Amino acid sequence: MENNIINKVVVITGASSGLGEATAMHLAERGAKVILGARRVDLLENLVNNISAMGGIADFLQTDVTKKEDVKALVDFAVNNYGKIDVIINNAGIMPIAPMSEIRTDEWDSMIDINIKGVLYGIAAALPYFQKQKSGHIINLGSVAGIKVFSPGGTVYSGTKFAVRAISDGLRHEVGGDIRVTTIEPGAIESELKNSTKHETSSMIVNEFYKQAIPASSVARAIAYAIEQPANVDINEIVIRPTVQEF
């Protein structure tokens, strides 16, 4: 297949580590210009330096996806510096696992703010540009927990990922004539996601579960596959997990 990634301007949130970092590296290797957003500036600087060292094009802006003005600034930064935006990857997410009976409402709030509102803010920032240019690609990171509820412990997390899937499906129905929408739904992938669980018993379960994890590069390749399709081909969903993972 012809490389349909070269010179595309791709904005990635949650880009400082894990899936975001692996995706940035892979797309830059394929010729994309990647604009990276996350809170940890030191990691972003290091990633941009690594991409530049291999001959790729990358830039970054410190971004907190819970702040819609930050996400808009990231997308505007891409357009102002590179003349356009072709793809936004709404990747930032957290997964603090705990039984609902623990009433960890601060964690619930954080998951809603990052996993749902962060995706919506990414859509809100990119969609006007996409509609104006009558093209674009929105890629939202869901989860297998957005297909089947992960419980006990992951009920609220699953709720946020079910929301991502519903938002993606509805958005595709509304703007699908010109704009592609893809939901990537990973299983156990090696990343920092498991580290967001602070409930002691749940953390032990999560760490055991993630012993079967596959590399973040597995998801990066799936994202690249969706992006490289011709403009008239929209990969709606990709579910990707370890072969040995039952759930």
DSSP states of 206-245 as a string? HHHHGGG-B-THHHHHHHHHHHHS-TT----EEEE--TT-
Helix (H) or strand (E) holding 2: none
Residue 46, both tokens = 């290091």
Three-state secondary structure call for residue 58: strand
CB 15 within 8 A of CB 216: no
> Closest by alpha carbon to 183, among 217, 234, 148, 111?
234
82, 157, 210, 225: which one is catalytic?
A: 157
Residue 57, both tokens = 């094009």
Phi, psi (rounded to 5 degrees) for 2: -60, 140
Examine the residue annotation and report whether 157 is marked as an active-site residue of this protein.
Answer: yes
Cα 227–Cα 220–Cα 215 angle in degrees, nearest 5: 165
What CA–CA distance (Å, rounded) separates 159 from 152?
13
Catalytic residues: 157
